[in-house]
Amino acid sequence: MSAESTVLLTTSCPTCGEIDAPLSSVVLRVCEEAETSTCVITCGTCHERFEKPADDNMTLLLVTLGVDVSVWSLEPVADRHDELGPLTFTELDAFRDLLSDEARITEGLASL
């Protein structure tokens, strides 16, 4: 990537003060319920991660520029799966198997 095509986000690191963060160091965290988003920025100088609130315009801009977006939810998982009934021991066992299946986890992470 040439210097000209690198988009820098000017922001301030709590440790270093004003920095120019390349978009590759920015992740946008979007909450499904709340109307707010947060930018998680990794400082290229001190490598600390810090968060900045992002308003609608900022969110739109970052998404348009192609930053990584991470969507999360406030809603407790239990509320979403009421219709499935309580967890059974069989399901817990299956879950434990999944957790010990490293290849599967790696594959899951790669598809994020």
> Contact residues for Zn ion (CB under 5 A)?
13, 15-16, 43, 45-46
HEC string of 45-62? CCCCEEEEEECHHHHHHH
Work out how close the CB of 10 gets to Zn ion at its nearest, in angstroms, rounded to a whole number: 13
Nearer to Zn ion, 36 or 45 (CB): 45
Work out how close the CB of 11 gets to Zn ion at its nearest, in angstroms, rounded to a whole number: 10
Which residue is associated with the tokens 């809603």?
75
Work out how close the CB of 20 gets to Zn ion at its nearest, in angstroms, rounded to a whole number: 11
What's the maximum distance between 2 C-alpha atoms anywhere in the chain? 57
Nearer to Zn ion, 45 or 106 (CB): 45
Nearer to Zn ion, 46 or 99 (CB): 46
